[in-house]
Amino acid sequence: MKHTHRIYTRLGFLIAAIGVVLGAFGSHILKELIDEASLNTFDTGVRYQMIHAIAIITLSLNYRKFDEKNLQLALALFSIGILIFSGSLYLLATRSIWGDDSYKFIGAITPLGGIAFISAWLILFLKGFSPDDKSEELGSENKSEPSRRRHRSSQPEKSI
């Protein structure tokens, strides 16, 4: 995954920061401008954005444990899901502000974002882990000599 994990980690940080800004915007500004049902829709978008931003960050920071191709696909699907699912909910929730009801069709694409989320989670569930979990290998190679000595020294030496 060379440096792709760094890109997704940074993207996850950015998506989370935007989620916090949108959450604050919804709590402090939108609550005066839209009805409660629309505000709940907006909050749902923020919640899913934050959950999946944290998933992107966590997975990309632990990339060695996962199959590279499946992880990249899952991370891409999470990103697309955020854009489509949360983005469409933001547009639907705020369409009364814009005075244009032409955003109604956006509701039809919201489930596509949900399908992207579900697909990513299922890819990780079914094929996510690396067949030869490199993190376990690295963990066993990284054991320091002093810890091995400590373990051995806890047993009395046998003399022959």
pLDDT more than 90, % of the chain: 68
Lowest mean pLDDT among 8-17, 60-69, 129-138: 129-138
Q: In which residue are the tokens 């002093």 written? A: 146
Write down the pLDDT at residue 120: 98
* CA atoms within 13 Å, Cβ hemisphere of 17: 6
Enter the pTM of the model: 0.79
Closest CA to 54 of 82, 27, 90: 82
Q: Quote the CA–CA distance of 66 and 133 in Å, as a whole number.
A: 7
pLDDT more than 70, % of the chain: 79
| Pairwise pLDDT comparison (16 vs 4), residue with the higher score | 16
Average pLDDT over residues 83-104: 87
Longest dimension (CA), the chain: 91
Lowest mean pLDDT among 54-68, 107-121, 134-148: 134-148
Torsion of CA 40, 46, 48, 54, to 10 degrees: -150
Q: Quote the CA–CA distance of 114 and 84 in Å, as a whole number.
A: 8
| Pairwise pLDDT comparison (3 vs 108), residue with the higher score | 108
Write down the pLDDT at residue 155: 53
The dihedral sign for the CA sequence 46, 49, 54, 57: negative
pLDDT classification of 149: cutoffs 50, 70, 90? very low
49 touches 93 (CB < 8 A)? no
Q: Whole-number mean pLDDT of the chain? A: 85
Closest CA to 47 of 122, 124, 114, 115: 114
